[in-house]
C-alpha cells in the first residue's frame, strides 16, 4: 500500500471535499487493485463460510461427529445429483450423434428395432436385407451396451476387430458375420437363410455374454 498523501502546507486540516478528493486519489493506486480478492478467492471463501456455518452449533443444539459426517455426505450427494442432472443432456447428445450413422449410412433405430426389422425381412424371404439389417442390429447392440463405439468411417471388419477383445471366443464368427455383411451389401452377393441364421445366432450369443472387462468401451 502506498504512503498517505502529503499533509497540507501550513498544517491546515482539509475540508470535506478536499478529504474526499485525496481519498479517491489514494485509492486509485494500482496497489489497491492487486490487494483485491480474485473471483476464485471469493468462491473459496463462500464455500468455506458455508461449511463453517453448517458445522457451527446453534443454541442448545449439540453438534456431534455423526451430524458432521451426515452433513458432508449430504453435500457430496448434492454434488453427485448435480452432475447426474446436468451431465445427462451431454450424454444424450453424444448418443444421438453416435446413432446418426452406422457403416456410412443414416441409421437411428435401436438394436431391438433393427432385430425386429431383420426378422420381418427373413419371414418374407428377403435374405439380402435380413443379413444386412441383422448385422446392423449386432453393431448397434454393442454400442448400446457400451462395449464399443462405431464412429463414422467404421467398417464391418473394423467393428469385428474392435469387438474381438471383448469376446475372444467369437473372433472367427465376428469376422465371418462382417464378411457376410460386406458380401451382400457391397459385392451384391445373394444373401441366404444360412447366412442370416449365422449372423442372428452370433448376435444372440453376444447379447447373452458378458464382455471381457478390460475391453469394455474400447
Cα separation of 70 and 66, whole Å? 6
Distance set, CA 54 to CA 20, 45, 70, 78 (Å): 41, 14, 11, 15
Give the predicted TM-score (pTM) of the model.
0.56
CB half-sphere exposure, 178, CA atoms < 13 A: 19
- What pLDDT score does 78 carry? 66
Q: Residue 26, class by beta-carbon neighbours within 10 Å (0-12 exposed, 13-18 middle, 19+ buried)?
A: middle
Q: Is the pLDDT of residue 162 over 50?
A: yes
Phi, psi at 141, each rounded to 5°? -65, -40
pLDDT digit string, tens, across residues 116-131: 999 999 999 999 999 9
Residues 6 or more apart whose Cβ sits within 8 Å of residue 56: 63
Q: Is the pLDDT of residue 2 over 50?
A: no
Between residues 75 and 140, the one the model is more confident about? 140
- What pLDDT score does 99 carry? 53
Going through 111-163 in order, the beta strands assigned E by DSSP cover: none
Grid coordinates representing 119 are 426378422
Grid coordinates representing 99 are 446413432
8 A C-beta contact, residue 1 and residue 32 = yes
pLDDT bracket for residue 89 (50, 70, 90): very low
In the chain, where the domains are located: 101-215
Between residues 31 and 111, the one the model is more confident about? 111
- What pLDDT score does 144 carry? 95
Grid coordinates representing 12 are 491546515
8 A C-beta contact, residue 179 and residue 195 = no
Beta bridge mates, 106: 101
Locus of grid cell 448418443: 95
Quote the DSSP letter at residue 56. Answer: S
- What pLDDT score does 98 carry? 47
- What pLDDT score does 97 carry? 45
pLDDT digit string, tens, across residues 44-68: 677 667 666 665 655 555 556 666 6
Q: How many CB atoms lie within 10 A of CB 71?
A: 14
Amino acid at each position: 500500500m502506498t504512503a498517505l498523501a502529503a499533509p497540507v502546507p501550513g498544517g491546515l486540516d482539509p475540508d470535506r471535499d478536499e478529504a474526499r478528493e485525496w481519498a479517491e486519489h489514494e485509492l486509485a493506486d494500482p496497489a489497491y487493485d492487486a490487494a483485491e480478492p480474485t473471483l476464485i478467492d471469493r468462491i473459496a471463501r463462500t464455500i468455506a463460510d458455508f461449511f463453517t456455518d453448517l458445522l457451527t452449533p446453534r443454541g442448545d443444539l449439540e453438534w456431534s461427529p455423526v451430524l458432521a459426517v451426515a452433513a458432508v455426505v449430504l453435500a457430496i450427494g448434492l454434488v453427485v445429483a448435480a452432475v447426474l442432472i446436468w451431465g445427462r443432456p451431454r450424454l444424450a447428445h453424444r448418443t444421438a450423434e453416435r446413432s446418426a450413422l452406422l457403416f456410412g449410412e443414416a441409421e437411428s433405430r435401436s438394436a431391438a428395432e433393427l432385430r425386429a426389422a431383420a426378422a420381418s425381412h427373413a419371414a418374407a424371404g428377403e435374405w439380402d436385407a435380413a443379413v444386412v439389417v441383422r448385422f446392423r442390429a449386432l453393431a448397434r447392440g454393442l454400442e448400446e451396451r457400451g462395449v464399443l463405439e462405431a464412429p463414422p468411417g467404421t467398417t464391418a471388419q473394423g467393428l469385428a476387430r474392435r469387438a474381438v477383445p471383448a469376446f475372444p471366443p467369437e473372433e472367427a464368427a465376428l469376422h465371418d458375420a462382417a464378411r457376410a455383411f460386406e458380401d451382400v451389401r457391397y459385392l451384391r452377393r445373394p444373401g441366404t437363410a444360412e447366412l442370416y441364421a449365422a449372423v442372428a445366432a452370433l448376435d444372440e450369443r453376444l447379447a447373452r455374454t458378458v464382455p471381457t472387462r478390460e475391453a469394455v468401451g474400447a
